Amino acid sequence: MKYMALIYSAENAGPQYGTPEFKQMLADYHSVTELFEKDGVLISGDGLQDVNTATTISVRNGKTETIDGPFAETKEQLGGYYLFDCDNLDQVLKYAAMIPTVKYGRVEVRPLMEY
Amino acid sequence: MNSFNSIIKKDWGRIIALLSNYLHDLDLAEDAMQDALESALIHWRKNGIPKNPQAWLLTTAKHKALDKIRRARNFESKKKDYLRLLQLNESNNKEDFFIADERLRLIFTCCHPALAKSTSVALTLRLLGGLTTQEIASAYLVSAQTMAQRIVRGKRKIKKAGISYVLPEKDNFQLRLGRVLTVIYLIFNEGYCAANNTKLIRQSLCVEAIRLGTILLNLCPQESEVKGLLSLLLLHDSRVKARFNSQGDFISLEKQDRSLWNKLQIKQGAELLKSALGQKSIGSYQIQAAISALHCQASSFKKTDWHQIVLLYEELLKITPSSIIKLNQLMAKSHIAPAQDVLKELNELEEQLLKYHPFYVAKAELLVTLKKPDEAYRQIKKALRLCQNSTIKSHLESKLKLFYSGIE
């Protein structure tokens, strides 16, 4: 089954850019991604630029409305994702728990729709 | 058809577990079982109950499930599954006469931590306990429709999110078992805390929880915390007859007629506890059972071994630090320590227990001991404002009346 792990965290939570802890976190991301690949469960995964770079659009009656900013102004924002291919929920949860951000943010795991 | 109902009640969970294992679909398993029961009603009335009713039900339910899949609108996409099942069915038809026990998988599936606890409670009662949706709804004081939706949503989550029908891995087993124990304990508590004037079905939840605990212990006989939980449930439940008078008023432990306690059940609970403690793998249910056992084995309230109980609460606090457990410890302590000292410790908990009515009851009791009835009265008033349970409410009101008449 395919699962999307959506990585959320508050902007000021966790290690801040430029600190040694931040470097360590990047290294941790690097090594878990390698592990996911090695175990054959990774389809893809990436981090996102921060929410200040977000643009949200909607189309109503053929008119496009463009808004500067994320879809919802919440404390915790989507910061990245992994797309996994796992046997079951238990397996994907085991991998999701290794994502470095779980220690200060949250990871939401959702199965992909099957057609 | 009394024997019919008892067969179903007894074997429901077992057959559902086997069907789920075979079909990989809880919904289909339940539907097929329901259809098989309808057939059974007709056939068994006509021909009598078969020699092996469980095997009969299982085989019939399998056929009903295969029929259902074949008739389904999206049969083309399910054809592969169907053929797999058909093959499986032919290969183990002979084994059907020996009904394997797959209930452990079903319990772990129903109590998966990815499901809300209230959903796990409903699924466990329905799929393992064999209670009808209507029965569960009445026990939880919600409409049958609400309960049906909760069950449907739970089964849907299991299917769509890929909660698989397997036993947890070794390194995860204790954690997952803990969740199962929580669900069974929640079922028991719902019945135990039910007001006496509510429907009997609520109290039958205690019996149901004990039954589920017994099943679980049979499936994992080496787990000391399963023994601990079952022991705790048996010990708590042994006092059930003494907890209310004939008018349905709540009677506190101190005032209970101890001759009404179920001696046999106390013995069973104590034996289970002894066996659990012998395994030297202590856990919170074993400690709680040990506390309950000390209450059950005391010849009177006065003769209760409060020193030991205070120590056991200390152990419990090490495993699960909680203000409520601390409160209970202080109440035990109040029987062996000066009320003034206990009150001082109790006041330190106020911030965390602002909305917990037993906190104010405890405080009132200490104030009564300290001969401050006016202050005690105010505490009981606070407790009354917070308490939701009608039986406990009237119990508190009668306490208030006692203050008025100056008896206490």
SS3 of A45-63: the string is EEECCCHHHCEEEEEECCE
Predicted confidence at residue B402, as pLDDT, reads 72
Write phi, then psi, for A109 (nearest 5 degrees).
-110, 125
**The CATH number of the domain where A57 resides is what?**
3.30.70.1060
Query: Is B351 domain-assigned?
Result: yes
Query: Is B247 domain-assigned?
Result: no
Kindly report the nearest CA distance between residue A111 and chain B, in angstroms: 6
Write phi, then psi, for A113 (nearest 5 degrees).
-70, 140
- B384-406 average pLDDT score: 78
A89/B161 touch (CB, cutoff 8 Å), yes or no: yes
Last-in-domain residue among B101, B129, B160:
B101
Q: What is the pLDDT along chain A (115 residues), one digit of tens a residue?
A: 999 999 999 988 889 889 999 999 999 999 999 999 999 999 999 999 988 899 999 999 999 999 998 888 788 999 999 999 999 999 999 999 999 999 999 999 999 998 7
Chain A residue with minimum CA distance to B171? A94
pLDDT tier at B70, thresholds 50, 70, 90: confident
**Alpha helices of B193-262 — where are they, by DSSP H?**
200-219, 224-237
Contacts of A88 in chain B (CB under 8 A): 162-164, 166
Same domain, B68 and B146: no
Predicted confidence at residue A82, as pLDDT, reads 98
Predicted confidence at residue B407, as pLDDT, reads 46
Whose CA is closest to B111, among B176, B164, B161, B157?
B176
Same domain, B137 and B154: yes
CA torsion A50-A55-A58-A64 (nearest 10°) is -170
Contacts of A111 in chain B (CB under 8 A): 160-162
H or E segment and range at residue A78 = strand A76-85
Same domain, B132 and B95: no
For B256, the token pair is 């209970």
pLDDT tier at B166, thresholds 50, 70, 90: confident
- Tokens 């202080």: give the residue: B330
Model pTM score:
0.88
Predicted confidence at residue B408, as pLDDT, reads 44
Q: What is the CA radius of gyration of chain A?
A: 16
| Interface predicted TM-score (ipTM) of this complex, two decimals | 0.85
Query: Is B249 domain-assigned?
Result: no
- B174-181 average pLDDT score: 95
Same domain, B273 and B308: yes
* Span B106-124, pLDDT tens digits: 999 999 999 999 999 999 9
Predicted confidence at residue B346, as pLDDT, reads 96
| pLDDT reading at B161 higher than 90 | yes
CB of A112 within 8 Å of a chain B CB? The answer is no
Contacts of B163 in chain A (CB under 8 A): 88-90
Predicted confidence at residue B406, as pLDDT, reads 54
CB of A88 within 8 Å of a chain B CB? The answer is yes
CB of A86 within 8 Å of a chain B CB? The answer is yes
Q: What angle do CA B70, B76, B78 make, to 5 degrees?
A: 65
Beta bridge mates, A60 = A63
CB of A3 within 8 Å of a chain B CB? The answer is yes
- Tokens 């029961």: give the residue: B37
CA torsion B383-B386-B388-B392 (nearest 10°) is 0
Chain A residue with minimum CA distance to B113? A90
Selected residue of B164, B166, B172 to mutate for chain A interface (largest A Cβ count, 10 A): B164
Query: Is B252 domain-assigned?
Result: no
Same domain, B133 and B190: yes
Q: Are A88 and B166 in contact (CB under 8 A)?
A: yes
Q: Are B363 and B379 in contact (CB under 8 A)?
A: yes
In terms of residue numbers, what domain contains A107? 2-111
B162/A111 touch (CB, cutoff 8 Å), yes or no: yes
For B357, the token pair is 């009515």
- B97-103 average pLDDT score: 72
* Span B314-370, pLDDT tens digits: 999 999 999 999 999 999 999 999 999 999 999 999 999 998 999 999 999 999 999
Selected residue of B159, B160, B175 to mutate for chain A interface (largest A Cβ count, 10 A): B160
**The CATH number of the domain where B354 resides is what?**
1.25.40
Selected residue of A2, A3, A86, A89 to mutate for chain B interface (largest B Cβ count, 10 A): A89
Last-in-domain residue among B85, B101, B117:
B101
Query: Is B254 domain-assigned?
Result: no
pLDDT tier at B68, thresholds 50, 70, 90: confident
Same domain, B80 and B92: yes
- B373-390 average pLDDT score: 87
* Span B274-313, pLDDT tens digits: 999 999 999 999 999 999 999 999 999 999 999 999 999 9
Query: Is B368 domain-assigned?
Result: yes
A to B CB pairs, distance under 8 Å: 26
The crossing angle, in degrees rounded to 10, of helices B224-237 and B284-297 is 30
Chain B residue with minimum CA distance to A110? B161
Same domain, B120 and B199: yes
Last-in-domain residue among B86, B101, B116:
B101
Chain A residue with minimum CA distance to B173? A90
Same domain, B120 and B166: yes
**Alpha helices of A1-115 — where are they, by DSSP H?**
20-38, 89-96
Contacts of A93 in chain B (CB under 8 A): 114
B162/A93 touch (CB, cutoff 8 Å), yes or no: no
CB of A111 within 8 Å of a chain B CB? The answer is yes
Q: How many domains does chain A have?
A: 1
Q: Are B55 and B97 in contact (CB under 8 A)?
A: yes
Q: How many domains does chain B have?
A: 4
Chain B residue with minimum CA distance to A85? B162
Whose CA is closest to B272, among B317, B338, B216, B328?
B216
Q: Are A79 and A47 in contact (CB under 8 A)?
A: yes
Same domain, B346 and B397: yes
| pLDDT reading at B198 higher than 70 | no
B112/A89 touch (CB, cutoff 8 Å), yes or no: yes
pLDDT, chain B, mean: 89
Predicted confidence at residue B201, as pLDDT, reads 66
Query: Is B246 domain-assigned?
Result: no
Contacts of B168 in chain A (CB under 8 A): 90
**Alpha helices of B92-223 — where are they, by DSSP H?**
103-110, 117-123, 133-139, 144-160, 170-192, 200-219
Write phi, then psi, for B115 (nearest 5 degrees).
-105, 150
Kindly report the nearest CA distance between residue A13 and chain B, in angstroms: 25
Same domain, B43 and B70: yes
Same domain, B59 and B132: no
Predicted confidence at residue B248, as pLDDT, reads 79
Q: What angle do CA A32, A33, A36 make, to 5 degrees?
A: 85
Burial class (CB in 10 A: 0-12, 13-18, 19+), A52: exposed
In terms of residue numbers, what domain contains B292? 224-239+259-321
Q: What distance in Å separates the CA atoms of residue B357 and residue B376, rounded to the nearest whole number?
A: 13
